[in-house]
């Protein structure tokens, strides 16, 4: 819990930039589910964070645009019965989400021509299928 959340080797999110909200969780827990605030919401302001440089911040804002509310990413966790475990799960999920959002874009695909053998195989398969279909129909000519 204490200390920054490690996203990758270069990026970590300080505790000061995280906000927590707790509420009652639905699901398992027996009688204690009605009395304990085990559901966790972790809020991270992506638009105003100092943990990300301008390039990474812009990339994260673009890729997470459908999940952000006023630039704030909300991660919720209520799978576990204890608040502590849900806090750990939310932190792990935040780190994974941000890591995916700031990852470098994949290299552009370099278009290549089909090999001569693959073209020949495709055409011979088409001819074979056509011949099979031709044999199925009765000659109406």
Q: Is the pLDDT of residue 100 over 80?
A: yes
Q: Which whole number is the average pLDDT over 43-60? A: 91
Query: What is the pLDDT confidence band of residue 55, given thresholds at 50, 70 and 90?
Result: very high
Question: Hey, where are the domains in the chain?
Answer: 5-102
Q: Which residues contact 42 (CB under 8 A, 6 or more apart)?
A: 18, 19, 20, 74, 75, 76, 77, 87, 90, 91, 93, 94
CA distance readout (Å), 106 to 63, 65, 68, 141: 14, 19, 23, 56
Query: What is the pLDDT confidence band of residue 4, given thresholds at 50, 70 and 90?
Result: confident
What is residue 24's predicted lDDT score, i.e. its pLDDT? 81
pLDDT tens digit sequence for 64-76: 999 999 999 999 9
Q: Which whole number is the average pLDDT over 23-35? A: 67
Residue with tokens 């290549």: 112
Q: Is the pLDDT of residue 141 over 60?
A: no
pTM for the model stands at 0.71
Query: What is the pLDDT confidence band of residue 139, given thresholds at 50, 70 and 90?
Result: low
What is residue 121's predicted lDDT score, i.e. its pLDDT? 98
Q: Assign domain 5-102 to its CATH architecture.
A: 2-Layer Sandwich (3.30)
Q: Is the pLDDT of residue 30 over 90?
A: no
Residue with tokens 């301008």: 54
Q: Helices then strands (H, E): number in the chain?
A: 3, 6
Q: Which whole number is the average pLDDT over 101-113? A: 92
DSSP code at position 78: -
Q: Is the pLDDT of residue 138 over 90?
A: no
What is residue 28's predicted lDDT score, i.e. its pLDDT? 61
């Amino acid at each position: 819990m204490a200390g920054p959340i490690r996203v990758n080797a270069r990026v970590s999110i300080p505790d000061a930039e995280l906000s927590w909200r707790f509420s009652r969780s639905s699901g398992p827990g027996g009688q204690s589910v009605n009395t304990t605030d085990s559901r966790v919401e972790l809020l991270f302001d992506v638009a105003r964070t100092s943990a990300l440089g301008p390039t990474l911040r812009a990339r994260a804002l673009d890729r997470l645009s459908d999940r952000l509310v006023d630039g704030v990413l909300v991660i919720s966790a209520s799978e576990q019965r204890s608040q502590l475990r849900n806090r750990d799960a939310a932190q792990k999920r935040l780190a994974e989400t941000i890591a995916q959002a700031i990852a470098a874009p994949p290299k552009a695909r370099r278009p290549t021509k089909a090999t001569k053998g693959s073209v020949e195989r495709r055409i011979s398969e088409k001819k074979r299928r056509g011949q099979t279909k031709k044999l199925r129909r009765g000659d109406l000519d």
